[in-house]
Chain A
Amino acid sequence: MSIFVNRDTRLVVQGITGREGQFHARQCILYGTRVVAGVTPGKGGQQMDAVPVFNTVREAVQEAGANCSMIFVPPAFAADAIFEAVDAGVELVVAITDGIPVMDMMRVKACLRSSPVRLIGPNCPGIITPGEAKVGIMPGPIHKPGGPIGVISRSGTLTYEVVYQLTLKGIGQTTCIGIGGDPVVGTGMIDCLAAFEKDPDTKGVVMVGEIGGKAEEEAARFIKAHMTKPVVSLIAGLTAPPGRRMGHAGAIIDGAGGTAQAKIEALKAGGVHVCEDLGSFGEFCANVFV
């Protein structure tokens, strides 16, 4: 099993005719994802390789049966693209775009409160169930299908590093989700933890966090109260200076807190196995997940 995406996922790529959209749509197809449609307003009727391009997400859903959308639309128009996908009735929206204004995402999230649609991201590498479906920009070959570990991360390439070390130790992944580096994201750590706890094929979880906000602290409380499966965590940014945005819009230590040290302490208090040496992450996991 897995969570959120699997071999039944039928993907529409919004922004498919742009440079990033084309490149990554092709990579997803190569991986085996069922890419059923693309959307670029004004380019309806064209083809991107064998993929039909539509003007609207609604058409992609009605005519190509899309049930999931991946968004490669520039920041100025990305929130609108998310709203469009939600309105069109897809079940899952994965927003890759980095740089969406926070106020736009606040409105998106407020709107999604009363909707069954799930949003992952923005500013994320996407989600992959190895061997079944890749809805994102992560390199497929570093993943090992068949589980039993679920991976949740706020990062992109740091996730790949972690996944690669797991794979090298023979530890496969059920699903890997990049929830994104922005302060306001559609799916949080707790949402993923709850889903992994329910998934029969996931036997343990890896959680990659970083400075900024209180997501890891809140996750620690959830883990203590609700998780039976072991959780390993890594937190980036022990050396980050306060008050500076470290790349990700959400990675900032401010008056509300968010230091790596505080997160590590909270996670340990929640019964999480915290790895403090990224170089030995694979070995650490092998010891915890036996």
Chain B
Amino acid sequence: MKIHEYQAKELFKKFNIPVPNGAVAFSPAEAGAVAREIGALPVVIKAQIHAGGRGKGGGVKLAGSVAEAGKLAGDIIGMNLVTHQTGPEGRQVQKVLVEQGLAIEKELYLSIIPDRSTARIVVMASEAGGMDIETVAAKTPEKIIRVGIDPLVGIQPHHCRQVAYGLKFSPAAVKQFVPMLSALYQLFVEHDCSLVEINPLVLTRDETLIALDAKINFDDNALFRHKDVAAYRDLDEEDPLEVEASRFNLNYIKMDGNVGNMVNGAGLAMATMDIIKQAGAEPANFLDVGGGASAEMVANGFRIILSDKNVRAILINIFGGILRCDVLSTGVVEAAKKIGIKVPVVVRMEGTNVEEGRRILAESGLNLISAKDLKDAAKKISEVVRA
């Protein structure tokens, strides 16, 4: 789960991690009020969306007066901001973060992520702040400091010193950095984060360390034990079909193609999307109905696939292990009767109660094309799409 910069900074404040003075604003008037409260100029107006590259996209502006703060906020709120991370359709900006401008001496990079192969929590830092860390990692990997921390031991001051001296901090900066990194690690662990990133971490001209940007991603698997974090969710940042699907506990991701698909199991679902592409079409979605899907859940998934106007055909690929083919077929027939399926549906089923499942489909009176195996399903999809 992602959150906005202003929310991440709220969390940072709780852990005494220094951030610029500022607050979120939902209107030009509010932005002006915040600027007045800050009481210093310039202030920075920053679009709040769940994507990076906001500056280059025109979503970050400097205001030299309270009036200008309001005007710039008015320009940015409501704009459709396109960055290299939003896709060409861009994202609607609903709010801005108004912050005190800083006299920046140096920009650094700092992040904490879990490393899956070593099962350690890794602190990554670099003097190349404000830049795309992937580019730095690719071009000059030696510039990146990495410290792996055993989660059973936790972060120790010596880890923090190792990073601080690697970043060539002065003694005054080291003194600030050690407790800051320690606090950042505590935040990471206590909130079950999957990423905490400060890019850039700024050293100001008067030698103060401040987090100029803040990015926090949370482990979706742990949200059940963080109701406060779950409250940060911004539905405006999510695709409406995906939001609706999540209400039914369906694992659905909208894509751009023309062949909808419903599969049991994430790996098989990904492989089915690949098969659709190989058959000469494009997948319209990822949808994993899981092993315990009821007829109702299946019907809901079907309805969501069909809500996508781009869908011209549907491929159902079910290898029944826990999921029974007769349960699936009942769901498909129920959905069809409720909303009316107008596109051709290719159905490939295997596993438990497969004959019963095929019988239910065949006797439904619907336009359902049975495929005997995956090769046959791919062939039939490509025929249906070409028609």
Contact = CB atoms under 8 A, between A and B. Distances in A.
Given A213-B117, A238-B277, A280-B375, A161 B319 contact: yes
A283 to B, nearest CB: 9
A125 B321 contact: yes
A255 B144 CA distance: 14
Interface string A160-175: 1100100000000000
A110 B150 contact: yes
A102 B114 contact: yes
B294 to A, nearest CB: 13
Q: How large is the interface on A (under 10, 10 to 19, 20 to 34, 35 or more residues)?
A: 35 or more
Contact of A161 (B282, B286, B292, B374): B374
Contact of A240 (B121, B134, B273, B377): B273
Interface in B218-248: 219-222, 224-225
B322 interface: yes
A183 interface: yes
B378 A137 contact: no
Interface string B257-270: 00000011111111
B352 interface: yes
A251 B221 contact: no
A277 B375 CA distance: 9
Contacts of B321: 125, 137-139, 156-157, 160
A228 B192 CA distance: 42
B119 A240 contact: no
B116 interface: yes
Nearest to A281: B374
Interface in A97-114: 99-103, 105-107, 109-111
A290 to B, nearest CB: 21
Contact of A246 (B116, B270, B351): B270
A15 interface: no
For the complex of A and B, list the 6 residue pairs with the smallest distance between their C-beta atoms, beginning with the closest: A247-B266, A155-B267, A157-B265, A279-B375, A158-B267, A101-B222
Interface of A: 20, 75-76, 99-103, 105-107, 109-111, 125, 137-139, 142, 153-161, 164, 181, 183-184, 188, 208, 210-211, 213-215, 218, 234, 236-241, 244-251, 255, 260, 277-280
